[in-house]
Structure 1
Amino acid sequence: MTVASPYAVELARMPVSTRVLPVAGSETHVWEYGDSGADARARAAAGTLIVVVHGYRGDHHGLEPVIAQLDHPGYRIVAPDLPGFGVSTPMTAAHDLDGYVGWLHEFTDAVRAESPSARLVIVGHSFGSIVVAAALGGTPSAPGSPDAASRPALAVDAAVLINPIAAPALKGPRGVMTRVAIGYYRLGAAAPEKLGYAILSSPVMVRVISVTMAKTKNRALRRWIHDQHHRYFSAFANRTVVLDAFRASVSNDVSEYARRITAPTLLIAADKDDITPIGAQHRLRDSMPDARLVVLDDVGHLIHYERPIEAAAAIDAFLEPRP
């Protein structure tokens, strides 16, 4: 039985449209929220275009609780399922960080062309924060030349990173848990195809991960969080996709690109995040040319589920004044 969302009322107020865009070989499914996503004329008139990039093994549903609080006139909010996850088909490129960065460039160019005069804001959560940071920072052309980019930096007016992966995951507060996860994914990779897929999509493991990450003591909210993970956390196209993306998620972090990110950036971090210690979030802010840090207390890596109202309020304050 589906558990009702605590944010269903807010979401029901927002117009939602869906479509499919061919990007980097992926049939990328896109959800657009707000009046400005209704048709071509409305998209062209949007004052602010917000592109939302979800985290590892999730899909567009994950950030809907935050999106539901951003129902403002003139906002066009675009939330795709990443290639290979949700209902989007895989890319032709590898599903590593470089592949996702290339896809994000192409996807952003496509939706920005529809709203050419809009302020462009890009939002990334968790693994999405790494993809966004790598796109904003550009790709070094060669070792020893960190300021020269072989792929130009994605040009945006502002960026928001929610639960940013500010340091290597193996050095996080639960580095041991990350190593256990690596062993789990290696087991899924070593097993025969069908068995490996079953291991990687195991409801038992999904529940263990969900219980570990949830910090709220609200039973109803915890029940809904577990239901969300049960419904969407194993919606990946195949074993290769989920393994490639996992390697990218634990082999990279936002700090690698921080000094090259010149766009004004809001970091929304949690004091009980099991993946990144709060000290690393402060160091990340200090290493970026133009960054603000908002820390939410008594929450972990699920800000988008447990504290979306506060996260949206921080985004609103960061983006004021609205056009």
Structure 2
Amino acid sequence: MSEEVSTVSVNGLRIAYRTWAEDNAEGTPVVLLHCLGEDGEDWRGPLISRLAAAHPVFAPDLRGHGRSDWPGEYGLDAVSADVLAFLDVLGLDRVILIGHSYGSVVAGILAGKHPSRVERLVLEETPAMLPLDPPREIRDKPDGPQAFDWEVRRQFDRQRNDPDPRWWEGLTEITAPTLLIGGGPSSHLPQEDMAVMAERIPEASLVTVEDAGHLVHEDRPGEFAAAVQTFLAGGSPSGR
């Protein structure tokens, strides 16, 4: 399996990304969107090796993360526009989009705004973008160097507290078959919110990997990869 780390200019920003693929991988391209504070490297594991056998796989560092530029502006609409432009620059007309947490919010926004670009959608441990009560505290940057721009967290927390209603409404515009994967009660996210989202997205199902917590693809990589593969093959994955 070949692997490359490259950069591309997107909306005036340098976006770094990793690619994995076998020589004969001709399936629909897969784009992986990482969680807050991570980068494309976070996806390395069983999922990559299984997907890359049949699909070219792309894992960008979202703006403010990793090797991509840190411009200081991190509105979710801007981040989703980056991903759309990333697809355009690389000539990826229609993709399988997989996002984790923060990355799943970005993926959901893109899939709602541009449904024709997403063939299938996987949302791992995705927060519901509804007003939070009580609101999140907007925390100052901790001392010492950070692997990402702390302003991403501050702006995301503000957007979680008072989200644009269009993001929630846009879930009904998603046309791609969608799989939501929850980590069960050990996750800090309310699992019932994901069930509501699964009902709101027209063609969606929810699978729970019990006791996996928020980092399903890291802490239960085999089960996560199997659920995704079953879903992409048109089956109905089941959690344990």
TM-score normalised by L of structure 1: 0.64
Residue of structure 1 equivalent to 2:70: 90
The alpha carbon displacement at 1:155 in A equals 1.9
The alpha carbon displacement at 1:66 in A equals 4.9
The alpha carbon displacement at 1:73 in A equals 2.9
Q: In structure 2, the residue corresponding to 1:48 is in which secondary structure?
A: coil
**Over residues 168-225 of structure 1, what are the superposed CA-to-partner deviations in whole Å (9 max), with x where a residue is unaligned?**
4835xxx6xx73xx24x2xx2xxxxxxx4627x5xxxxxxxxxxxxxxxxxxxxxxxx
Listed as ranges, the matches of 1:7-46 within 5 Å are: 14-36=1-23, 46=26
The alpha carbon displacement at 1:57 in A equals 1.3
Residue of structure 1 equivalent to 2:102: 127
Aligned length: 233
**Over residues 23-80 of structure 1, what are the superposed CA-to-partner deviations in whole Å (9 max), with x where a residue is unaligned?**
11221111001225xxxxx7xx732200011111111122223533424433111001
Q: Distance in 1 between matches of 2:38 and 2:75?
A: 16
Q: Distance in 2 between matches of 1:312 and 1:133?
A: 20
Report if the CA contact (8 A) 1:53-1:79 is conserved. Answer: yes
The alpha carbon displacement at 1:160 in A equals 0.6
Q: Distance in 1 between matches of 2:212 and 2:131?
A: 18
Residue of structure 1 equivalent to 2:30: 50
Q: Distance in 2 between matches of 1:275 and 1:103?
A: 28
Residue of structure 2 equivalent to 1:156: 118
The alpha carbon displacement at 1:244 in A equals 2.5
Q: 2:148 aligns with which of 236, 250, 265?
A: 236
Report if the CA contact (8 A) 1:135-1:154 is conserved. Answer: no
Residue of structure 2 equivalent to 1:272: 185
Residue of structure 1 equivalent to 2:54: 74
The alpha carbon displacement at 1:167 in A equals 5.2
1:166 equivalenced with 2:137 (yes/no): no
The one-letter code matched in structure 2 to 1:166 is: A
Listed as ranges, the matches of 1:148-227 within 5 Å are: 152-153=114-115, 155-166=117-128, 168=130, 170=132, 179=136, 182-183=137-138, 185=139, 188=140, 196=141, 198=143
TM-aligned CA distance change 1:273 to 1:154, over 3 Å: farther
Q: Distance in 2 between matches of 1:160 and 1:277?
A: 18
Q: Distance in 2 between matches of 1:137 and 1:54?
A: 19
1:312 equivalenced with 2:225 (yes/no): yes
Identity, in percent, stands at 28
Q: Distance in 2 between matches of 1:250 and 1:86?
A: 25
In structure 2, list runs of 5 or more residues that go unmatched: 235-240
Q: Distance in 1 between matches of 2:209 and 2:19?
A: 27
TM-aligned CA distance change 1:260 to 1:71, over 3 Å: closer
Structure having greater relative contact order (Cα 8 Å, sep ≥ 6): 1
The alpha carbon displacement at 1:153 in A equals 4.3
Report if the CA contact (8 A) 1:267-1:291 is conserved. Answer: yes
Q: Distance in 1 between matches of 2:44 and 2:162?
A: 27
**Over residues 74-124 of structure 1, what are the superposed CA-to-partner deviations in whole Å (9 max), with x where a residue is unaligned?**
311100111111111135x8311111011111012223x1x56xx620111
In structure 1, list runs of 5 or more residues that go unmatched: 1-13, 37-41, 139-151, 189-195, 202-233
TM-aligned CA distance change 1:71 to 1:99, over 3 Å: closer
Residue of structure 2 equivalent to 1:248: 159
Q: In structure 2, the residue corresponding to 1:79 is in which secondary structure?
A: strand
Report if the CA contact (8 A) 1:130-1:252 is conserved. Answer: no
Report the aligned-residue RMSD: 2.8
